[in-house]
Homo-oligomer: A and B are copies of this chain.
Amino acid sequence: MTSLIDRLSPEGRNAPESGIVEVFNAGWGRDDLIPLWAGEGDLPTPEFICRSAKQSLDRGETFYTYQRGIPQLREALADYHKDLYGKDFSPERFYVTGSGMQSIQLAVQAVAGAGKEVIVPSPAWPNITAAVEVHGARAVPVAMREEDNGWQLHLDDIEATITPDTTAIFLNSPCNPTGWVANLDLLKEVLNLARRHKLWIIADEIYALFYYGEGSRAPSFYDIAEEHDQIIFVNSMSKNWAMTGWRIGWISAPPVLGQVFENLIQYSTSGVPSFSQWGAVAALRQGREFLEAQVARARAGRDCLLKGFQDIDRVRVLPPEGAFYLFFSIDGVTDTRQFALDLVRQTGVGLAPGTAFGMGGENYLRLCYARRQDHLEEAVRRISAWLPAI
């Protein structure tokens, strides 16, 4: 049967299997599983959000709708951004998508065709690289390094990677998996670099609110960019409002690109269900309290784990500044893929192996702490008890 596979396009055939799924498959179905491998909390979507979607279904809103998203959601997005960034936003710059993932896919389609290059600081969420390469472009990693004061991205390293084929820099801050957060100075430098080279920035600030520094959110390109800078923001309803399963995201980009994104949406999925979008409207309009509780819960999870890991000598971890992952290493563990497989099989604790996150991530493990504290404590206990055996 390999012959059928051989007849596929190289882009299709070579799309990589997720490096997390293998571990998932090794542990899935265990009664005592503590699944900390995915970027997903353990709370279902709040009832007020589900109710809004159900009411839309009851109104019979089951027809084709606007490719750019229903006006009510685009207005709610504009208001949400105004609250968050303290300036006005036009609803015309927001395009509703079928997930943060699709936002990335569409952004890449828009700015990086076959043969082009997108610079991606690494370690990185693996789907970014895959989304670039499935379109025949090349994701060029820039190594980030863990130094004593945390992960660092150096502007020189980005600049050295630019070639005539480079069309975009993908910047994810706060970062999945490292928890790194770009400060405002770095964002300014990256923006200036991009302006100088006429490059696009794809700004993934999905975890903006999950921020443990000063202020209520991470520094953002919105703080420094002009309306018509070449920045495409990709975002998602998933993390803030416990809506991972809803598959709704958005793009924020200069309104002049509206027709292009409408076309790209038309030819990929042709829009997002109206009733799901009404769920998103409720989340944005009435979800502030829930969102604050989500962030507080993640912060508590983070603190609980940092404290627990302090007592395990072999664990090396720095406090993440943002997002909701610990990205840690263990003395003596070099094959993190095998470690993650063994750990889940023997203890039921599911972690994502660093090998899934590309260059520079190989020696790490990723743990999602947006979860119940007793489960996190139990995970630390099991890891601590099992480590001496390996």
Contact surface of A with B, Cβ cutoff 8 Å: 1, 4-5, 7-13, 15-18, 38, 40, 44-45, 50, 53-54, 57-58, 60-65, 98-99, 101-102, 105, 109-114, 116, 127, 130-131, 134-136, 167, 198, 200, 228, 230, 242-247, 254, 256-257, 259-260, 262-264, 266-276
Contact = CB atoms under 8 A, between A and B. Distances in A.
Nearest to A253: B4
24 contacts: A1-B254, A4-B257, A5-B257, A5-B260, A7-B200, A11-B109, A12-B260, A13-B260, A15-B266, A17-B259, A40-B63, A44-B62, A54-B54, A62-B243, A98-B269, A99-B269, A99-B270, A101-B267, A101-B268, A113-B114, A131-B268, A245-B275, A247-B269, A268-B268
A8 B247 CA distance: 26
Question: Within the oligomer, what is the number of copies of this chain?
Answer: 2
A199 to B, nearest CB: 9
A18 B5 CA distance: 33
A268 B12 CA distance: 12
B50 A10 contact: no
A40 B139 CA distance: 40
Nearest to A130: B267
A239 to B, nearest CB: 12
A100 to B, nearest CB: 9
A287 B135 CA distance: 38
Nearest to A58: B50
A15 B109 CA distance: 10
A12 to B, nearest CB: 4
Nearest to A268: B105
Given A247-B272, A260-B12, A267 B7 contact: no
Given A18-B266, A228-B1, A57 B54 contact: yes
Contacts of A63: 40, 44, 244-245
Contact of A10 (B13, B113, B259, B276): B113
B230 A4 contact: yes
Contact of A9 (B12, B112, B127): B112
B4 A266 contact: no
Contact of A62 (B105, B245, B256): B245
Given A15-B264, A44-B63, A267-B105, A113 B243 contact: no
B256 A273 contact: no
Contacts of A136: 113-114, 135-136
Contacts of A11: 109, 113-114, 135
Nearest to A44: B60
Nearest to A259: B17
